[in-house]
Structure 1
Amino acid sequence: MTAEALTSTALSYGRLVPVTVHFDDLDALGLLHNARYPLMAERAWAELWQERGIRFEGDWAAAGDACNAVKELTITYEAPVTRPGPYAVHLWLERLGTTGLTYGFRFCSADGATTYARGTRVLVRLDAATLRPAPWSEEFRAAGRELLRPGG
């Protein structure tokens, strides 16, 4: 089943992006290492934004909306991941402001039914020359509105 099909059947908002846990992602106890959860969420977001034409290719001045920085990250671990294989990251926007946004994520089973960890991350769009907050483009805001959680 595709991520789009899963999104329509298992989720009422956001997007479910498939990810893979590899053997070397596990720690000495055989659990997914705590630092891997936000890394996999980051990779899922990068894939989602790249599909929408927003990407960083080495030039901050040309990066546009991809020129951003993390202001805050929170994560809560709910159940251990104990084996490699297919999983997913459920992504959505909680808030879309003028220069910042808050996204939510769940690290979950491939079908989205079981949650292993959840969190939020605050990003700030930066001006490449000054590294000060700058407004998101209208194209980015339009793409972001599609991912807003109801009530977000």
Structure 2
Amino acid sequence: MTAEAPIAPALSYGRLIPVTVHFDDLDALGLLHNARYPLKVEQAWTELWQEHGIHFDGDWAAAGDACNAVKELTIGYEAPVTRPGEYAVHLWLERLGNTGLTYGFRFCSADGTQTYARGARVLVRLDAATMRPTPWSEGFRAAGRALLRPAD
């Protein structure tokens, strides 16, 4: 008889993306370093957008929607991560504008039941030539709409 993996809770919005915390992600106290949370969230977003064909291969002019910049980042820490292992990031969009978006995230247990940190980040889509805001592509917008959090 084999042990079955725990079933992730049903999410009413967004996606739960697995991430790994390694020993070298921990600080001197044995806690996940505060600067690693945004890095793990970025890794989860990168994986999610790559599923939709959005990625950066070294050419900003060809990067399309991957050419964007962070305007704002907020994060609150709720419980310490005290060991390496498998975790997850719950990702969703709060707002999808013409040239910008706001996404929400939770750094959580692999099954999504325990929240360690939560936050939001504002991104602006940039034109690679001018570095000025430019609209998201329709393909990006379609993928983004599927991630929108419903209004409460």
Could you say which TM-score interval applies, normalised by the shorter chain?
Answer: over 0.9
| TM-superposed deviation, 1:116 | 0.1
TM-score, normalization by structure 1: 0.94
**AA matched with 1:54:** I
| Residues 10 and 112 in structure 1, CA contact (< 8 A), matched pair in contact too | no
Aligned to 2:24: 24
RMSD (CA atoms) = 1.4
Unaligned runs of 5+ in 1: none
Percent identity over the alignment?
83
More helix per residue: 1
TM-score, normalization by structure 2: 0.94
**AA matched with 1:140:** F
Is the aligned partner of 1:116 residue 2:113?
no
CA distance in 1, matches of 2:10, 2:38: 22
> What is the CA deviation profile of residues 86-139 of structure 1, one whole-angstrom value per residue up to 9, with x for unaligned ones?
100000000000000000000000000000000000000000100000000000
| Residues 10 and 113 in structure 1, CA contact (< 8 A), matched pair in contact too | no
> Which aligned runs of 4 or more in structure 1 are off by greater than 6 angstroms?
none
Aligned to 2:100: 100
Aligned to 1:87: 87
CA distance in 2, matches of 1:18, 1:91: 11
For these two proteins, the number of residue pairs brought into alignment is 148
CA distance in 2, matches of 1:37, 1:12: 23
Structure with the greater alpha carbon radius of gyration: 2
